[in-house]
Amino acid sequence: MGKLLIVGTVAFDAIETPFGKTDKILGGAATYIGLSAANFGVNSSIVSVVGGDFPEEYLSMLSSKSIDISGIEIVKEGKTFFWSGKYHNDLNTRDTLITDLNVLADFKPIVPDNYKDSEFLMLGNLHPSVQLSVINQMETKPKLIVLDTMDFWMDHTLDELLDVIEKIDVITINDEEARQLSGEYSLVRAAQKIHKMGPKYVVIKKGEHGALLFNNGDIFFAPALPLEEVFDPTGAGDTFAGGFIGYLANTNDISFENLKRAVIYGSNLASFSVEKFGTERMENLTKKEVQNRLQQFKELTQFEIELT
Amino acid sequence: MGKLLIVGTVAFDAIETPFGKTDKILGGAATYIGLSAANFGVNSSIVSVVGGDFPEEYLSMLSSKSIDISGIEIVKEGKTFFWSGKYHNDLNTRDTLITDLNVLADFKPIVPDNYKDSEFLMLGNLHPSVQLSVINQMETKPKLIVLDTMDFWMDHTLDELLDVIEKIDVITINDEEARQLSGEYSLVRAAQKIHKMGPKYVVIKKGEHGALLFNNGDIFFAPALPLEEVFDPTGAGDTFAGGFIGYLANTNDISFENLKRAVIYGSNLASFSVEKFGTERMENLTKKEVQNRLQQFKELTQFEIELT
């Protein structure tokens, strides 16, 4: 089993969906990634920053999932990063209502010494310079670096983002962002162009339409599980990424065959995350539930046809 | 092997995509269905109507694919149904520019006597009263009736459409139409409601995002093949339906396991149809190409994970 280092936001979210709204609840990319990866029993650590207003109980909950929180800096006099958003009726689009960077504005990540030799590094969506700083602090080159990013960094810090993209092994990105980054509408062509920017593997997330894994000429597709009800999509992409890298860290195998399994597990875990507000579902998920859902994924996609 | 009867339009299309435009070329739901089903060597017949302006060479081409054309009525003094449309840049949406019903306006389908005992009946998108008339002309109850329809009939002839839906076994419908017909946004719930209207199987087509096959509690998903370039989506849904029912007629097996294979073949054939304008690609498709693409579908979706 490989050690997993996660850098990303630990935050407050306030979410409104057609089904209800929340006050400030636990959110943040690293939170979702960590909770998702925790299902594979990996030795993981989160590097992040929160303010003095961040509840101790949230940190305890993360610790209880065997996530090392020594890399979460607490700025006593500062306030925690806060995001608020409202989803449209179809849940596929949302408006951001509030983004208060707070302590995130001056975040200088510090990797704990005992995680500088992590074999697996997950760079959650953050300023590319923060992501780069974490890469540079590693004492041994990770076996696999996975990067998540978004259109905001393409719009505002493209050169720095491209520097990071050159150094990583897997990029996870949604379909519209893949089109923006590559200038290609076809996702097959977009992936080809992004490969040339550095990453050996390109994962394109299509939300309710699943995710595509590209490895040059090879393509694998993980569907999203069709659900009766999607309650809150917040964190689904991060949960996907956490399941993906958590499975890889657990198995310590970065072959294409194993990456296929990893995207299936990513999709599996994301299908739970959207069932309740925020992190609620992920905090109470059992191994049995994940295994049962894996069976559903098999039934959804596996077929037997003889080639003639 | 079962006999296959197809009712639907045989038409002229004029198509404009971002890649070019055509004059009047061969089109129509029954044309695409028939050409697609022909890949399975089934004994099929098309019931349709064309005008005196319809080229003999088109009929010969259909005959050369072993499609019985004795049920295609030729109204010498009439003109063939004509549709013209222009696709938007993303190819997912289009504007209809012209719909000239012509001889289709008074179409009274007549099922050839030797196809009144067909085991498989494909009702292509048409006025529900025409679809119903074909069902009523069958002398023996078909083993499987597949219905394709569209929002236009939901808007204008819903009661008649519901009468037909009650009598069929499989409905193929796109995602937005499933939502309209059921009043449910979730496709899982939409399929549940549509089951209650009659069909044992519900196939929801999601275009580039694949297709879902529902059989009460069971769900199977056939992805669309990610393509470098989609040239012309016209007829993709009909080609899907033709591959679906053509495979079923060839194997004469309507178990859920076999319907899974049928949606994979439907998606397989649709992936060729979009590669060129109109029916061009389907007219020249080889068995070897279909089998090679089936291998691509396997690589795209099949995985090995041990349940623990």
Average pLDDT over residues A138-144: 98
Q: How far apart are CA A161 and CA A180, in angstroms?
A: 13
Q: Report DSSP letters for A72-90, one per residue.
A: EEEETTS---EEEEEE-TT
The CA distance from B206 to the nearest CA of chain A, in Å, is 9
Three-class DSSP category at B98: strand
Higher per-residue pLDDT: B108 or A230 = B108
φ, ψ for residue B307 (rounded to 5)? -75, 135
Q: Hey, what are A187's tokens?
A: 């996702």
CB B4 within 8 A of CB B45: yes
Average pLDDT over residues A128-146: 98
Q: How far apart are CA B177 and CA A193, in angstroms?
A: 35
* Amino acid A135: pLDDT: 98
Pairing of strands A11-17, A25-27: antiparallel
Nearest Cα to Cα of residue A205 among A181, A173, A230, A228: A173
CA distances from B9 to A158, B33, B83, B126, B235 (A): 51, 10, 11, 7, 11
pLDDT band of residue A306 (cuts 50, 70, 90) is confident
The CA distance from A193 to the nearest CA of chain B, in Å, is 12
Where are the domains positioned within chain B? 4-301
Q: Which residues of A touch B206 (CB under 8 A)?
A: 209
Question: How far is the first Cα of chain A from the last one, in angstroms, to the nearest whole number?
Answer: 41
Whether residue A4 has pLDDT greater than 90: yes
Whether residue A141 has pLDDT greater than 80: yes
With an 8 Å Cβ cutoff, the interface of chain B facing chain A consists of 89-90, 185-189, 206, 209-210, 212, 218-221, 223, 226-230, 257, 260-261, 264, 291, 294-295, 298-305, 307-308
Q: Hey, what are B22's tokens?
A: 């055509």
Q: How far apart are CA A220 and CA A217, in angstroms?
A: 10
Q: Helix, strand, coil shares of chain B as percentages rounded to 5?
A: 40, 25, 35
Largest separation between any pair of C-alpha atoms in chain B:
70
User: Residue B278 is inside which H or E element, if any?
Assistant: none
Higher per-residue pLDDT: A68 or A230 = A68
* Amino acid A216: pLDDT: 84
Q: How far apart are CA B258 and CA B247, in angstroms?
A: 9
Q: Hey, what are B61's tokens?
A: 């081409």
Whether residue B306 has pLDDT greater than 90: no
Q: Which residues of B touch A221 (CB under 8 A)?
A: 223, 226, 300-301
The CA distance from B21 to the nearest CA of chain A, in Å, is 20
Average pLDDT over residues A180-199: 97
Question: How far is the first Cα of chain B from the last one, in angstroms, to the nearest whole number?
Answer: 41
Q: How far apart are CA A104 and CA A100, in angstroms?
A: 9
With an 8 Å Cβ cutoff, the interface of chain A facing chain B consists of 89-90, 185-189, 206, 209-210, 212, 218-221, 223, 226-230, 257, 260-261, 264, 291, 294-295, 298-305, 307-308
pTM for the predicted model, two decimal places: 0.95
Q: Hey, what are B203's tokens?
A: 């196939």
Average pLDDT over residues B31-59: 98
Judged by CB atoms closer than 8 Å, whether chains meet at A301 and B219 is answered as no
Residue in the structure block whose two tokens are 């055509």: B22
Judged by CB atoms closer than 8 Å, whether chains meet at B301 and A89 is answered as no
Interface confidence, given as ipTM, is 0.92
Question: Which of A214-223, B32-41, B90-99 bottoms out in mean pLDDT, i.e. has the lowest?
Answer: B90-99
* Amino acid B245: pLDDT: 98
CB-defined contacts A:B, below 8 A: 94
Whether residue B93 has pLDDT greater than 90: no
Q: Name beta bridge partners: B197.
A: none
Q: What is the mean pLDDT of chain B?
A: 96
- Could you please state the CATH topology (level 3) that the domain comprising B4-301 is classified under: UDP-N-acetylmuramoyl-L-alanine:D-glutamate ligase (3.40.1190)
Whether residue A122 has pLDDT greater than 80: yes
Nearest Cα to Cα of residue B203 among B180, B186, B189, B220: B220
